[in-house]
Amino acid sequence: MEDKRAEREDIADLPAARVTHRRWSAAVIWVVPLVAALVAGYLIYGRFKERGPEITIQFRDGSGIRVGQTPILYRGVQVGEVTGVGLSKDQRHVEIKARLKRSAASVAREGSLFWIVRPEVGIGSVTGLGTVITGPEIQALPGTGEERSEFTGLDSAPAALELRGLKVVLRTSRLGSLQRNSPVYYRGVEVGVVQEATLSPDATGVHVHALIRQRYAPLVRANSVFWNVSGISLSGGLFKGVEFKLESLRSLAAGGINFATPNDSARPVEDGQIFPLHTEGRKEWLNWAPRIPLRLDRDEAGPRERGKDVAPESKSDGTAQKADAPAVKKGASSGSGKSTDKNSPFPANSGG
């Protein structure tokens, strides 16, 4: 009994506990979710701030295109991303919806070009190897027209991207080894590129559409001559031996065209002029060396201007014939290849 009494007395001597209620303890609990909500809101705001217009692009084939993974690139910089893939209403095309960045809103304009880049290995060219691991990508080339949201994609990349220049049509009986991106030479220097080849309107020949870069456009005159330098040319005789001719290794693989101008007396030609493409050149053509001032380098490349590739200087008379490629104006024969140029020092024909 005495022990219990002593224990009670000891407990009574202990100090009483003081309980303090803190009013701000409940507020501390909501600090973390509130900060998280603010950060999420800031990120969402930044995301919407970068959002540009939504566009729709139609392609014939959409294999490899993935939502949220396939980028839209311009000059190697991502300007958009694919947000949806589906079939068109007539089920003939693939409709790809993409969201552009606000800084790249100018891409959604009339005249813009889009094409899918995939790995491609051809004769004389290898392209798109970087997409073997990352998958296909969509390349863009902005136009300069009015704002637009629907586009039709190209089946392949256009030749001579963003280059302005003189477009000429070369008429020949057979295409041979010429193809897209085949080089065009002047005195051994590459001054242009082949854009495409089509049959003439009456199917009697082939029209090779070539682009001469803006800086070298003055080199093409009404009395200029073009000839095919594809492959290897061998000639020989009993006393002179074997003569071997090769323009370049690239022309051996992908074909090529050479041209020469006898003098600067003839007037410059306009966009869409037709010239005969000879099968081989003559020795005297290689000796022609007229003094023709070239334009500045800054004129060679620039923003793509729809319908303003070349500013015509004057109408030409002679060898060249005015035509809206690939069609030929009334009165121009696609198969004869005869030249009417009085200043031309040679007879021209489509077969060379």
The pLDDT tens digits for 142-174 are: 988 899 999 999 888 776 665 678 999 999 998
Dihedral of CA atoms 173, 178, 183, 186 in degrees, nearest 10, equals -30
Give the whole-angstrom CA distance, residue 230 versus residue 277.
Answer: 12
Give the whole-angstrom CA distance, residue 89 versus residue 333.
Answer: 43
C-beta of residue 94 within 8 angstroms of C-beta of residue 78: no
- Residue 331 banded pLDDT, cuts 50, 70, 90: very low
Q: Given this model, what pLDDT does residue 155 score? A: 85
C-beta of residue 81 within 8 angstroms of C-beta of residue 135: no
User: Does residue 345 surpass a pLDDT of 80?
Assistant: no
Mean pLDDT across the stretch 258-279? 90
* Beta strand residue intervals within the chain, DSSP E: 51-59, 71-74, 77-87, 94-101, 113-117, 120-122, 125-127, 137-141, 150-152, 165-172, 183-186, 189-199, 206-213, 225-228, 233-237, 241-245, 257-260, 273-278, 321-322
C-beta of residue 182 within 8 angstroms of C-beta of residue 287: no
- Residue 317 banded pLDDT, cuts 50, 70, 90: very low
Q: Angle at the Cα of 303 (from 299 to 306), degrees rounded to 5?
A: 105
Rounded to 5 degrees, what are φ and ψ at 8?
A: -65, -40
User: Does residue 246 surpass a pLDDT of 90?
Assistant: no
Share of the chain above pLDDT 70, in %: 64
Q: How far apart are the first and last CA of the chain?
A: 136
What are the tokens at 306?
Answer: 């729809």
Those residues whose C-beta lies under 8 Å from the C-beta of residue 299, and which sit 6 or more positions away, are: 164, 214, 215
User: Does residue 41 surpass a pLDDT of 80?
Assistant: yes
How many Cβ atoms are within 10 Å of 2's Cβ, its own excluded? 6
pTM of the full structure: 0.55
pLDDT in tens, 94-135: 999 999 998 888 899 998 999 998 876 655 556 666 676 778
- Residue 78 banded pLDDT, cuts 50, 70, 90: very high
